[in-house]
């Protein structure tokens, strides 16, 4: 166990190094001269040269990377070309909003998915089961933006239950909670669908075991059998996949935040790319990727902790 | 797409045993019995035909505007109605199919070729394995769509950027799948036997390894087509891929979202087109998997 955690911690810097190299390379994949692209086609050469100097593009690549990583490690992600503010400030303003949205989605996901999966397993082969599985198939294949627009249209415009878009405040306030509802639901749909399927199959596996037959034979009510003998034993794979899904929620944030005008890191990244604001693009991508790596690490370690039977080589 | 990435990861990570390819008649017989697969194949055939023959079939030019009839609801004149500039949505969807299919095929081809090469080299020449797989790990450290977004952000909008961005993102999946299959193949008797009789690396790779990779790769490529189409539409939806006024499906949905309250049909039909394409390739992939190699089921 300790060894496993140590191994993962040793690999971590390698992965982070790779991530930083990839993010660094983003600027150098820009076709032509990035400084020219930023300045615009008609910009005078002095402006282009100034941007080149500002971004350090006039130096050899390894030196550029060394300077870049040096600055990043000191918390300096450069300056946004548009707002002229430090990228870190922009990202830090947006990050709490993304985390709130992700947190709410992460809380609703198991609350919806696990009961649905248990019901489908308990009613295996019936119309209820088939209907739920069809729904979850839809949840997996329908594009996130279509789900977002569908929710917006139905719950926002038609039923008027929730505000259509925007940030209504922190989620512990009433307005904030109302404003986060639609984006969080949207974000959760894919995860709910995947998790419900998994819960169903994990439950079915457990319900086939001898101790479940024994539990039924000794006359326990079905509800008790399902909860105490079924779900309790099916929960482990469910927790793992839940962890993976929570990490992946981060990538759903791009679409969801953009559609619902939610001022998070995902929307910031999309704006940055549209505005060709490369330092901001690098900053947002780096922060999201690092966050993802760390969440994954925590999930893996927790998993090993929860199930002592698991040995990692 | 947060979920779309998940099965790929799991599928690619699992140790897969390549099975012997069934004979052709046997394959056709089994495939025909798979109704979902046939449905997928039929949808794909229709989509390809509509996109290829768009010039002939489309009742209107995808550019022609009719401002008087903007937001017209579906009618015999405009089967799927018109958009905010009075352009015929049905015609635009037909032409838009060219983008989605090109993006899907282009991206999958790119990741297929590069990923297979990387995976085979890593599995066969173990000295390079560590390095190549670390690179793959780093690429997988980016959640779902993030790497594609970063790449398209650097390359700028446009068809080739989208194909390169999505194709690159898909490389790790192909690399891992190939590597794990090669690892198990190289220990099999027929490969060992070929080596014993003095076959060269090239001949072993071509005749004994590559041939056995074909069917699992076909299955995987079909499933990845649906992801590539989905991510392509998403990038355009975010305004990062194909730009309006081009009739790319995701771009159409993106424009339509401003009129969602008043003209829901403008976003419903392009969305339906994306959904049909995504589901069709998923169904085909699942059917191919069941037909070619039931052991691939996880």
For chain B, the average pLDDT equals 85
**Residue B237 in contact with partner chain A when CB distance is under 8 A:** yes
Phi, psi (degrees; rounded to nearest 5) at A41: -65, -25
pLDDT at B58: 81
- Of A8-17, B150-159, B225-234, least confident by mean pLDDT is A8-17
Q: What is the mean pLDDT of chain A?
A: 85
pLDDT of residue B51: 92
pLDDT at A307: 66
Q: Who has greater pLDDT, A280 or A239? A: A280
Least CB–CB distance from B141: residue in A187, A273, A293: A293
- Say what the pLDDT of residue B13 is: 41
Pick the more confident residue, B153 or B20.
B153
Answer yes or no: is B24 within a domain: no
Please tell me the predicted confidence (pLDDT) of residue B74: 86
Residues 109-168, chain B, touching A (beta carbon < 8 A): 134-135, 137-139, 141-147, 149-156
Range A168-177 average pLDDT: 83
What local confidence, expressed as pLDDT, does residue B242 receive? 92
Any domain includes B6: no
Nearest in space to B239 (alpha carbons), one of A259, A219, A21, A66: A259
Q: Domain count of chain B? A: 1
Give domain status of residue B112, yes or no: yes
Residue B166 has pLDDT above 80, yes or no: yes
Instruction: Identify the closest residue of chain A to B256 by CA–CA distance.
Output: A149
The pLDDT > 70 percentage for chain B reads 90
Q: Residue window 74-133, chain A: list those with CB within 8 Å of chain B.
A: none
Q: Which is more confidently placed, B148 or A251?
A: B148
Residues 250-269 of A with CB under 8 A from B: 250-252, 254-255, 258-259, 269
Here the CATH number for the domain that contains residue B232 is 1.10.3720.10
Q: Please answer whether residues A256 and A262 qualify as being in contact, where contact means their C-beta atoms are separated by less than 8 angstroms.
A: yes
Higher pLDDT, A304 or A137: A137
* Confidence bin at B4 (pLDDT 50/70/90): very low
The answer to whether the CB of B34 falls within 8 A of the CB of B290 is yes
pLDDT tens track for B95-109: 999 999 999 999 999
By residue count, chain A amounts to 313
Other CB atoms within a 10 A radius of the CB of residue A284 amount to 34
Residue with structure tokens 């446009």? B158
pLDDT of A36 reads 80
pLDDT of A97 reads 93
What is the distance in angstroms between the Cα of B251 and the nearest Cα belonging to chain A?
11
Put simply, the answer to whether B234 touches A244 (Cβ < 8 Å) is no
B76: closest CA of chain A, how far (Å):
26
* pLDDT in the model for residue A189: 93
User: Is some CB atom of chain A closer than 8 A to the CB atom of B296?
Assistant: no
Q: Band of the pLDDT at A226, cuts 50, 70, 90?
A: confident
pLDDT at position B277: 94
Distance between CA B147 and CA B168 in Å, rounded?
9
* Whole-number Cα distances in Å, B114 to B55, B108, B125, B175, B176: 34, 10, 16, 8, 12
pLDDT at res. B16: 53
Q: What is the arithmetic mean of pLDDT over A181-194?
A: 92
* Residue in A29, A185, A287 to test binding to B, most B beta-carbons within 10 Å: A29
Q: B20-51 in b/e burial notation, b at 16+ Cβ within 10 A?
A: ebbeeeeeeebbeebeebeebbebbeebeebb
Mutate to test the interface with B, among A18, A130, A145 (most CBs of B within 10 A): A145
Residue B94 vs residue A248, higher pLDDT = B94
Give me the phi and psi of B118, to 5 degrees please: -60, -45
How far is it, in rounded angstroms, from Cα A225 to Cα A272? Answer: 53
Between A71 and B13, residue with greater pLDDT: A71
Alpha carbon of residue A284 to chain centroid: 13
Q: Which of B2, B233, B271 comes nearest A251 by C-beta?
A: B2
**Is residue B87 one of the residues assigned to a domain?**
no
User: What is the rounded average pLDDT of the residues A186-212?
Assistant: 89
Tell me: pLDDT of A48 over 70. yes
Among chain A residues, the shortest Cα distance to B137 is held by A15
Classify residue B79: in a domain, yes or no.
no
Is position B70 within any domain? no
Domain containing B130 equals: 101-296
Confidence of residue B47 (pLDDT cuts 50, 70, 90): very high
Positive or negative, the Cα torsion across B261, B262, B264, B270? Answer: negative
What pLDDT is stored for residue A90 in this prediction? Answer: 92
Q: What CA–CA distance (Å, rounded) separates A225 from B132?
A: 48
| A191 at interface of B, judged by CB pairs closer than 8 A | yes
Q: Which of the two residues, B178 and A227, has the higher pLDDT score?
A: B178
Which ipTM score applies to this complex? 0.84
**Is B268 domain-assigned?**
yes
Where do runs of H (alpha helix) occur along chain A? 2-26, 34-39, 45-55, 61-73, 87-122, 127-141, 144-151, 174-207, 210-217, 222-224, 232-259, 265-274, 278-306
**Partners of residue A292 in chain B, C-beta under 8 Å:** 141-143, 146
CA dihedral of residues A144, A145, A151, A152 (deg, nearest 10): 160
Q: Is A154 on the interface with B (CB under 8 A)?
A: no
Partners of residue B254 in chain A, C-beta under 8 Å: 145
Residue B11 has pLDDT above 60, yes or no: no
**What residue of B is the nearest CA neighbor of A257?**
B238
> For B71, how many CA atoms within 13 A lie in the half-sphere containing its CB?
11
Residue A141: pLDDT over 70: yes
Residues B168/B151, Cβ–Cβ less than 8 Å = yes
Question: Does the pLDDT at position B40 exceed 90?
Answer: yes
Q: CB-based contact (8 Å) between A198 and chain B?
A: no
pLDDT surpasses 50 at A6: yes
- Say which range, A163-172, B33-42, B84-93, B131-140, has the weakest mean pLDDT: A163-172
Q: What is the mean pLDDT of residues B269-289?
A: 92
Q: What is the pLDDT of residue B207?
A: 83
Q: For residue B282, is it within any domain?
A: yes
Contact between B233 and B274 (Cβ < 8 Å): yes
Over residues B253-262, the pLDDT tens digits come to: 999 888 888 8
């Amino acid at each position: 166990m300790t060894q496993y955690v140590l191994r993962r911690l040793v690999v971590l810097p390698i992965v982070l190094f790779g991530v930083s190299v990839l993010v660094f390379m983003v600027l150098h994949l820009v076709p032509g001269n990035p400084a020219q692209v930023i300045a615009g086609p008609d910009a005078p050469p002095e402006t282009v040269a100034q941007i080149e100097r500002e971004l350090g593009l006039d130096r050899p690549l390894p030196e550029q990377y060394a300077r870049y990583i040096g600055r990043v490690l000191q918390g300096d992600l450069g300056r946004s070309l548009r707002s002229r503010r430090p990228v870190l400030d922009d990202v830090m303003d947006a990050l709490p909003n993304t985390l709130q949205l992700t947190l709410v989605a992460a809380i609703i996901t198991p609350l919806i998915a696990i009961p649905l999966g248990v019901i489908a397993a308990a009613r295996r082969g019936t119309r209820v089961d088939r209907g739920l599985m069809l729904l979850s198939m839809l949840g997996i294949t329908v594009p996130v933006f279509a789900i977002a627009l569908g929710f917006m249209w139905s719950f926002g415009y038609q039923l008027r239950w929730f505000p259509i878009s925007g940030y209504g405040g922190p989620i512990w306030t009433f307005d904030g909670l109302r404003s986060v509802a639609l984006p969080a639901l949207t974000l959760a749909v894919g995860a709910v669908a995947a998790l419900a399927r998994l819960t169903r199959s994990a439950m079915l596996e457990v319900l086939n075991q001898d101790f479940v037959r024994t539990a039924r034979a000794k006359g326990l009510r079905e509800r008790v059998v399902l909860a105490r003998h079924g779900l309790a034993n099916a929960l482990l794979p469910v927790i793992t996949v839940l962890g993976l899904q929570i990490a992946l929620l981060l990538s759903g944030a791009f679409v969801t935040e953009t559609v619902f005008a939610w001022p998070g890191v995902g929307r910031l990244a999309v704006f940055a790319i549209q505005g060709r604001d490369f330092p901001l693009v690098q900053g947002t991508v780096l922060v999201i990727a690092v966050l993802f790596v760390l969440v994954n690490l925590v999930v893996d370690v927790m998993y090993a902790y929860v199930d002592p039977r698991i040995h990692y080589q | 797409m947060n979920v779309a990435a998940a099965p790929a990861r799991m599928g690619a990570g699992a140790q897969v045993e390549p099975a012997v390819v069934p004979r052709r008649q046997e394959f056709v017989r089994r495939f025909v019995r798979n109704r979902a697969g046939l449905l997928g194949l039929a949808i794909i055939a229709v989509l390809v035909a509509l996109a290829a023959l768009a010039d002939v079939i489309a009742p209107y030019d995808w550019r022609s505007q009719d401002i008087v009839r903007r937001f017209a609801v579906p009618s015999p004149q405009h089967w799927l109605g018109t958009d905010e500039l009075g352009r015929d949505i049905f015609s635009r969807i037909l032409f838009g199919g060219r983008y989605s299919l090109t993006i899907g095929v282009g991206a999958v081809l790119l990741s297929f070729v590069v990923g297979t090469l990387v995976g085979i080299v890593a599995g066969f020449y173990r000295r390079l394995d560590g390095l190549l797989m670390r690179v793959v790990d780093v690429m997988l450290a980016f959640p779902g769509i993030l790497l594609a977004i970063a790449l398209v952000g650097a390359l700028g909008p446009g068809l080739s950027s989208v194909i390169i961005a999505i194709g690159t993102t898909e490389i790790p999946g192909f690399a891992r799948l190939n590597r794990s299959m090669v690892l198990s193949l190289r220990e099999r008797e027929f490969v060992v036997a070929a080596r014993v009789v003095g076959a060269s690396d090239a001949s072993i790779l071509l005749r004994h390894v590559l041939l056995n990779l074909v069917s699992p790769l076909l299955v995987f490529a079909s499933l990845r087509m649906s992801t590539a189409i989905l991510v392509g539409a998403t990038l355009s939806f975010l305004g990062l891929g194909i730009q309006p006024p081009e009739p790319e499906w995701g771009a159409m949905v993106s424009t339509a979202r401003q009129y969602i309250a008043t003209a829901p049909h403008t976003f419903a039909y392009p969305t339906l087109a994306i959904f049909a394409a995504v589901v069709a390739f998923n169904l085909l992939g699942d059917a191919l998997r069941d037909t070619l190699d039931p052991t691939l089921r996880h």
